[in-house]
């Protein structure tokens, strides 16, 4: 019984079971490869990237979204009596009439990028708040916030189905495309660091890969329909 308990705990901690559980309990979710849009009861609109999941808690005082997984873009509707909150494991975001993007990262950090209005940000382990203005971006964890940097244009380009590559490594570009593509997508180490510039369709990854093969010294190897590898061009 003890061994079974340890095995179960390891399975929970070291696999995707927590993410699956989050999706089971979420009010809104986006499946793998799906870019989902929802209009909430107050008129606010949210966009969910593939794998994202949110739970709603609306009452007479607060409109609260709990981001359980993935990334979210929010366009808040005005409401004079209820504040708009997004809770993450790393902290709380309070919208001040705004459009913003928040993404949970793999290293237990998160990113907030504000495009209109402002967002008040508080790390989960701190009582201090910081206002992030339009055009700014902050990385944060449960204890602290990084300094403000210019908001990444990709933080809102993805809701239009576009990936903007501005001197991105090919490996990073493919990691983003893989989220919108079924099957296996891998890149050889010899070409993973190639720099990429341009815009690519997230909703048509076959076309995006063909575009990359047309501008970089790479080739696509597809031994099976669901298995694609990017290799140096010979």
Domain with CATH 2.60.120.1440 in the chain: 2-154
- Cβ atoms of 33 and 182 within 8 Å: the answer is yes
Q: Are 199 and 163 within 8 A, CB to CB?
A: yes
CATH placement of domain 2-154:
2.60.120.1440
- Cα separation, 40 vs 67, in Å, equals 15
Report d(CA 158, CA 30) in Å as an integer. 14
According to CATH, the topology of domain 161-232 is Phage tail protein beta-alpha-beta fold (3.55.50)
Return the residue matching tokens 């909430």. 40
Per-residue confidence of the chain (234 residues) as pLDDT tens digits? 555 444 443 443 444 555 555 566 788 999 888 999 999 999 999 999 999 999 999 999 999 999 999 999 999 999 989 999 999 999 999 999 899 999 999 889 999 999 999 999 999 999 999 999 999 999 999 999 999 999 999 999 999 999 999 999 999 999 999 999 989 999 999 999 999 999 999 999 999 999 999 999 999 999 988 899 999 998
3-state helix, strand and coil shares in percent for the chain, rounded to the nearest 5: 25, 45, 35
Positions of CATH 3.55.50.30 in the chain:
161-232
């Amino acid at each position: 019984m003890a061994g079974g308990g340890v095995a179960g705990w390891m399975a929970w901690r070291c696999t995707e079971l927590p993410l699956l559980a989050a999706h089971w309990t979420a009010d809104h979710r986006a499946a793998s490869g799906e870019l989902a849009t929802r209009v909430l009861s107050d008129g606010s609109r949210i966009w969910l990237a593939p794998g994202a999941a949110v739970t709603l808690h609306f009452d007479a005082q607060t409109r609260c979204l709990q981001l359980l997984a993935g990334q979210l873009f929010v366009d808040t509707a005005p409401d004079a009596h209820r504040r708009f909150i997004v809770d993450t494991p790393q902290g709380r975001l309070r919208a001040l009439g705004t459009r913003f993007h928040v993404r949970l990262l793999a290293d237990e950090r998160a990113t907030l990028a504000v495009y209109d209005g402002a967002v008040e940000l508080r790390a989960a382990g701190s009582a201090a708040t910081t206002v992030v203005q339009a055009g700014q971006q902050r990385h944060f964890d449960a204890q602290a916030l990084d300094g403000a940097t210019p908001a990444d244009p990709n933080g809102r380009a993805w809701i239009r189905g576009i990936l903007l590559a501005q001197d991105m490594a090919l490996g990073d570009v493919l990691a983003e495309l893989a989220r919108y593509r079924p099957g296996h997508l891998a890149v050889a180490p010899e070409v993973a660091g190639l720099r990429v510039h341009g815009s690519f369709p997230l909703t048509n990854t076959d076309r995006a890969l063909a575009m990359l093969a047309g501008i970089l010294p790479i080739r696509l190897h597809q031994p099976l329909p669901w298995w694609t590898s990017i290799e140096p061009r010979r």
